[in-house]
């Protein structure tokens, strides 16, 4: 940036043409990335709606443990999650699919999908769910999905 002297004698910085050009390029690239992400979400939500399920259950962001991508900032991941939810909700409405939002305190990950036992603790690093009660072993996300399916069934 250029240092310029004002009439009052103080120094100020001024953006050069090159800086302005680079700033525009950054903005353009960010917009392009956002479009790519949104298009990708559109593909997924459309393909899900096309399977014509009876209902779709989603849980709120705080409980779902979806923030796993270390290459994306937390705020971008939150935006993407909300965009995913927004698209899923209206595409469900278009296709007469019931859209259910699980209670934010529903313990989808901590609950054993086989016996219903609820674990006291489950860290995010535990990718395999092992039930303390019935010794059932299942992939963590699959277990949570089955619980959410049953949750939807119980209130659908």
Binding residues vs Zn ion (CB under 5 A) = 112, 114-115, 117, 131, 133-134, 136
The DSSP element (H or E) to which 62 belongs, if any, is: helix 61-64
Residue 151 beta carbon to Zn ion: minimum distance, rounded to whole angstroms:
16
Residue 84 beta carbon to Zn ion: minimum distance, rounded to whole angstroms:
30
Closer CB to Zn ion, 101 or 118, in the complex: 118
Rounded-to-integer distance, Cα 144 and Cα 129, Å: 9
Q: How many CB atoms lie within 10 A of CB 26?
A: 9
| Residues 57 and 89 sit within 8 Å (Cβ to Cβ) | no
Closer CB to Zn ion, 100 or 131, in the complex: 131
Residue 59 beta carbon to Zn ion: minimum distance, rounded to whole angstroms:
20
């Amino acid at each position: 940036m250029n240092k310029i002297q004002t009439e009052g004698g103080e120094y100020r910085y001024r953006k050069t043409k090159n800086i302005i050009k680079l700033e525009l390029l950054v903005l353009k690239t960010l917009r392009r990335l956002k479009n790519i992400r949104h298009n990708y979400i559109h593909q997924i939500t459309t393909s899900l709606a096309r399977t014509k399920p009876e209902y779709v259950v989603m849980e709120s962001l705080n409980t779902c443990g979806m923030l796993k991508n270390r290459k994306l900032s937390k705020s971008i991941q939150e935006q993407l999650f909300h965009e995913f939810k927004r698209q899923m909700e209206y595409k469900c409405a278009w296709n007469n699919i019931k859209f259910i939002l699980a209670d934010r305190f529903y313990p989808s990950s901590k609950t054993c999908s086989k016996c219903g036992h609820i674990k006291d603790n489950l860290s995010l690093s535990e990718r395999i769910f092992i039930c303390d009660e019935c010794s059932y072993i299942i992939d963590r996300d699959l277990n949570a999905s089955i619980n959410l399916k049953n949750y939807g069934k119980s209130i659908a």
